Amino acid sequence: QQGVGILALDIYFPPTCVHQDALEAFDGASKGKYTIGLGQDCMAFCTEQEDVISMSLTVVSSLLEKFGIDPKQIGRLEVGSETVIDKSKSIKTWLMRIFEESGNTDIEGVDSTNACYGGTAALFNCVNWVESSSWDGRYGLVVCTDSAVYAEGPARPTGGAAAIAMLIGPNAPIAFESKLRGTHMAHVYDFYKPNLASEYPVVDGKLSQTCYLMALDSCYKRFCNKFEKFEGKQFSIVDADYFVFHSPYNKLVQKSFARLFFNDFLRNASSVDEEASGKLEAFRSLTGDESYQSRDLEKASQQVAKQLYDEKVQPSTLLPKQVGNMYTASLYAAFASVLSNKKVSLGGKRVVMFSYGSGLSSTMFSFRLQEGQHPFSLSKIADVLDVSNKLASRHVLTPAEFVENMKLMEHRYGGKDFVTSQDRSLLLPGTYYLTEVDSMYRRFYAKI
Ligand code: ACO
């Protein structure tokens, strides 16, 4: 198959959020810590009526409806998530209710899990299926759905929640450059969820930042090698129009792009001019480990990369800054931000993507964009995403309400025999919501 990739895309995030500047004051953190220090504006969260299953039901039904896709046309459905609601029953099986209604139960695929990387694993599975000899001509569908919540403490402001759905097929406006993939996988304890009685992860924050940057370096090197092998010339950051990163919080994205710039400098790539080289020369002899710890290098490389950051990265930062870390959906929400910000000017552009999941697994890969044809066009996707309206119609709750909600969710996690609030006034039409968990732990959802 030619040009296999993403034909259509939609995003859903909860209509409930808290402002980071208010949270910062409420938590007694110093002013600017969450907004400038972490680079975040706002954080979305699920109330007791929403969870990863309801969000995925909402986004899948919205995508099918808005792009006019008959549910019978889906032949593979893959879900990426790290939010465990059931240790056996996949989220995919809950989504089957949408397809069963139309008589389609012939759909391969289940869930993929490894921290924030599960969505990328699900996406690769679908793309590989369409490219394989077992493809039956129907579409693949990928869903990334997560609710990122942390215990009280420094990680709490790096939460968020969202679900993304992506329709996969040939001749896509967002086509994979299949040969260009660089992967790095290793065993580390940087962020993990060993306590099955709690929704919260155990996090070694500093280690997770270093692991992320080491994985980035390694993937970038492999990606560059592949490019050089297949294209016969050196790759540098000027060869891509946009760089999209998994975005736990914006500051790490700023550091990541600066790190790519530093890599280009070490490789003597043409993207780095003489003036920038001069500023980075002092750091050439640092060992790998030293380079991850050097504050001076961080500052110098961010400064010399600033102009390229504004051009190539900034357009991807809108949703991650406004919604927070969406775990598996984070990378694809950042990509959706580019589509929605740049709308008409994307034909022919190359986008490099970096996916990172703690534990750890990571891949750098790339897309080539073309406008495409209705209904699978970039402009239609930007219309359907409707990012500005979705952001503008949210309800801002106070930090106290947010904390109260977190306490209720802690209490409810893994629980049974409860019904959720009858007041659905915060939810928009078309939203699925949790109504009840019965004495057998069975979950029930309805749609507004
Ligand atoms: N004004 C401006 N900046 C400030 C202020 C202030 N008042 N106070 C602090 N800062 C800056 C710090 O200098 C630091 O910036 P720097 O990294 O450029 O030095 C930044 O704010 C963060 O402050 P720290 O004290 O370094 O870190 P903190 O203890 O707040 O923890 C962390 C931050 C580690 C990101 C924590 O939120 C966390 O553990 N999050 C979850 C883990 C995570 O997201 N890891 C990323 C990859 S893994 C994944 O995706 C889950």
Per-residue pLDDT of the chain (448 residues; tens, 9 = 90+): 899 999 999 999 999 999 999 999 999 999 999 999 999 999 999 999 999 999 999 999 999 999 999 999 999 999 999 998 999 999 999 999 999 999 999 999 999 999 999 999 999 999 999 999 999 999 999 999 999 999 999 999 999 999 999 999 999 999 999 999 999 999 999 999 999 999 999 999 999 999 999 999 999 999 999 999 999 999 999 999 999 999 999 999 999 999 999 999 999 888 899 999 999 999 999 999 999 999 999 999 999 999 999 999 999 999 999 999 999 999 999 999 999 999 878 999 999 999 999 999 999 999 999 999 999 999 999 999 999 999 999 999 999 999 999 999 999 999 999 999 999 999 999 999 999 999 999 999 999 9
Whether 361 is in the pocket of ligand 1, judged by its Cβ within 6 Å, is no
What whole-number distance in Å separates Cα of residue 55 and Cα of residue 51? 6
What whole-number distance in Å separates Cα of residue 325 and Cα of residue 323? 7
Selected catalytic residue, list 24, 50, 78, 82:
82
- For 26, the token pair is 């409420």
What pTM does this model have? 0.98
- Per-residue pLDDT tens for 148-206? 999 999 999 999 999 999 999 999 999 999 999 999 999 999 999 999 999 999 999 99
Q: Identify which of 35, 43, 116, 209 to mutate to test ligand 1's pocket (most ligand atoms within 8 A of the CB).
A: 209
Looking at the CA of residue 157, tell me the nearest atom of ligand 1.
Answer: 37
- Strands of the sheet containing 16-19, edge to edge, are 42-44, 16-19, 395-396
Looking at the CA of residue 358, tell me the nearest atom of ligand 1.
Answer: 48
Asked whether residue 208 is marked as a ligand-binding residue, the answer is: yes
Q: Which helix (H) or strand (E) holds 274?
A: helix 274-280
Whether 192 is in the pocket of ligand 1, judged by its Cβ within 6 Å, is no
Instruction: Name which residue sits closest to atom 10 of ligand 1, judged by CA.
Output: 37
What whole-number distance in Å separates Cα of residue 265 and Cα of residue 236? 9
Whether 251 is in the pocket of ligand 1, judged by its Cβ within 6 Å, is yes
Whether 116 is in the pocket of ligand 1, judged by its Cβ within 6 Å, is yes
Whether 384 is in the pocket of ligand 1, judged by its Cβ within 6 Å, is no
Sign (positive or negative) of CA dihedral 241, 227, 294, 284: negative
Q: Which helix (H) or strand (E) holds 202?
A: strand 202-203
The yes-or-no answer on residue 298 being catalytic is no
Which pLDDT score is estimated for 1?
84
- For 334, the token pair is 């950042």
The yes-or-no answer on residue 274 being catalytic is no
Say what the ipTM of the complex is.
0.98
What whole-number distance in Å separates Cα of residue 315 and Cα of residue 335? 9
Give the SS3 label for residue 100.
helix
Residues 6+ apart with CB under 8 A from 245: 216, 252, 253, 256, 257, 313, 316, 331, 334, 354, 356
Q: Are 72 and 79 in contact (CB under 8 A)?
A: no
Q: Report which residue type is found at 325.
A: N
Instruction: Name which residue sits closest to atom 24 of ligand 1, judged by CA.
Output: 37
Asked whether residue 66 is marked as a ligand-binding residue, the answer is: no
Distance from CA of residue 335 to its chain's centroid? 8
The yes-or-no answer on residue 231 being catalytic is no
Q: What is the residue whose two structure tokens read 């961010």?
A: 302
Q: Are 308 and 146 in contact (CB under 8 A)?
A: no
Max Cα–Cα distance, the chain, nearest Å = 69
- Per-residue pLDDT tens for 241-287? 999 999 999 999 999 999 999 999 999 888 899 999 999 999 999 99
Q: Is 350 exposed, middle or buried (0-12, 13-18, 19+ CB in 10 A)?
A: middle
